[in-house]
């Protein structure tokens, strides 16, 4: 149950697009289309922004999009805004019928 690998930090200017990667194995990310992404502000509970690799929950901005290729999933935030500055985590269902989170990525808006 090793954590999925995410970059520690990603930064971008307002209006730019940024992409966060989430790398696992064929036992988790690569084996199932059950990758989800969460936005987390300090002191707040996480918020689901993408589920099933690329689906957006009701109410989530269409600036958030997800994709997957092989054992790596990605979250793209387009039209970066100051409010997007937060921590982001991926998670995946696994072959063991459990879940594993990513290491987390801090997004900084320059």
Stretch in the footprint of another protein (CB under 8 A) among 17-25, 62-70, 71-79, 90-98: 90-98
What are the CA-CA distances from residue 68 to residues 15, 23, 31 (Å)?
24, 10, 11
Stretch in the footprint of another protein (CB under 8 A) among 20-28, 29-37, 61-69, 71-79: 29-37
Say how far apart CA 43 and CA 41 lie, in whole Å.
6
The contacts of residue 58 (CB under 8 Å, 6+ apart) are none
Smaller CB separation from another protein, 18 or 49? 49
Q: Work out whether 64 is an interface residue with another protein (CB under 8 A).
A: no
Q: Work out whether 95 is an interface residue with another protein (CB under 8 A).
A: no
């Amino acid at each position: 149950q090793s954590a999925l690998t995410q970059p520690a930090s990603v930064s971008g200017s307002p209006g730019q697009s940024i992409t966060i990667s989430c790398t696992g194995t064929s036992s988790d990310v690569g084996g199932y289309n059950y990758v989800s992404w969460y936005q987390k502000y300090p002191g707040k509970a996480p918020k689901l922004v993408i589920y099933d690799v690329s689906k957006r929950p009701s109410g989530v901005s269409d600036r958030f999009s997800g994709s997957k290729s092989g054992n790596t999933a990605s979250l793209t935030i387009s039209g970066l805004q100051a409010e997007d500055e937060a921590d982001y985590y991926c998670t995946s269902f696994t072959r063991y019928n459990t879940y594993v989170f990513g290491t987390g990525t801090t997004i900084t808006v320059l």
